[in-house]
Amino acid sequence: QVQLVESGGGPVQAGGSLRLSCAVFGNTYSSYCMGWFRQAAGKEREGVATIDSDGSTSYADSLKGRFTISQDKEKKILYLQMFNLTPEDSGMYYCAAEYLSYCIGGAARKSEEYKYWGQGTQVTVSA
């Protein structure tokens, strides 16, 4: 069983930065795809970024240049560094994982294609 635990969310002013973390617990495998999703109130969950076990990354086009996904393999932690935040970035941020050789579809990979999810961490950006 795999557990994902997100942290690092909170209130921030527009233009500010946040770094989200997702710690991975339990049985893991050497090949995987991990992703960050977000869901604003009243909107569908959308993919933000993915990273696989080889370190290949993919980003939603609208977020390139402002968000950076990374990982610490030894600590089993996934990160999402977010810069120049706007109120439109507010929402619940989730990390997800699936055991694959690579992230098929990249950031466009659908949420239902991930088996493991964290509980989410709330990001609130004020104008």
Beta bridge partners of 100: none
Tell me the per-residue pLDDT of 50-76, one tens digit each, with 9 for 90 and over: 999 999 999 999 998 999 999 999 999
What distance lies between CA 35 and its chain's CA centroid?
5
Q: What is the largest CA-CA distance in the chain?
A: 42
Tell me the per-residue pLDDT of 69-124, one tens digit each, with 9 for 90 and over: 999 999 999 999 999 999 999 999 999 999 988 898 899 889 999 999 999 999 99
Question: H/E/C letters for each residue in 64-101?
Answer: ECCEEEEEECCCCEEEEEECCCCHHHCEEEEEEEECCC
Three-class DSSP category at 33: strand
Query: What six digits make up the tokens of 97?
Result: 């994982």
Q: How far apart are CA 18 and CA 4, in angstroms?
A: 19
Asked whether the beta carbons of 80 and 69 are under 8 A apart, the reply is yes
